Structure 1
């Protein structure tokens, strides 16, 4: 049978936990070979949540289109949670494949069979898997939210960009703001020149001349200098 394989990761975490795109692709290819199927295409979504609708995923939409156009006879995924981590998305996607005459296979469990009124347990078991995949996603989100709250409560920076003069240092929950020597020097110079009565525009020109750069632009603007002053409590 001609199959289109679909693989997905939601972020860098799945690369580090051993289930990145390369690992998933090897799994689906090995399963197809063992079971006598041929993969005609591998569709990928990288950095896409499993709760995202199929229409908003380029890779999954591509895979479903190949089935609709009869370029492939079925969909192969490493496991069901790569298809979706929200039950409604899982069930809707399966229904689309089955409506278009395709079959669905997982490398860790074989064919995902269509609903059978004489076997309600089949549907229930599939949906239980989907429920727990969704629960796992929600628990991950909660842990991240709790981690940010705990970090903020301890006085460390939880989210957002670091103020000019600082950059992120450390890993994971221990990551926090640390002085950036180049930016600290520029900030000190800004405050020094402002204390001497120079305008924001003149300060920017002076910093460009002295080779003290802003964070993202090629040259200083009056508004950027003003922002640095205001954040330091200087008007």
Structure 2
């Protein structure tokens, strides 16, 4: 069953205090969700031009933790920036706008079309430049100096590994916020933490249920946790 995290935004403090605009957004989200599970709701008073929005960051964290879809009343409630929306796609967060349910596919399609057009233009300019150079007698092809194509492949693999590591560390930070909340309730052992994460329906890193070992690895990966907190978190009750 699909799960959703709702995000509402108004642009002015007056709108936020009066509820003007928020009620309409809630109504639109409820109509779209139609009885399906909404695991959390967040609202914010902030301009759409600003990328620094704490409530939106919290909503995205909830989406990642629960494997939920971010639902908004109107696409412009999320952002007017294509760069910002593409960032969400890069992070793997799915979202849907009630006023344009196919915005996900539409946005990606537009971005892909623009990227393809740019690639085609670059390819055309490159062929023209090579033809002009060949006409001037420039020798094309072959290895130049210390240039090695193998080096580019190595760089690509290193970048891919770094991106995967950064995503895993970010996910661990999301989980640690929940772990700290659980520990505040008195739960200390790794297995107790795993049981409570499962009870809260938070997905393990690769899906499925949490185990004590997975909690341990997640705590170790979370860079924001101090060594003292890690030692306490990793205590295994006998």
- Global fold match (TM > 0.5): no
Higher relative contact order (CA 8 A, sep 6+): 2
Which protein is richer in helix relative to its size?
Answer: 2
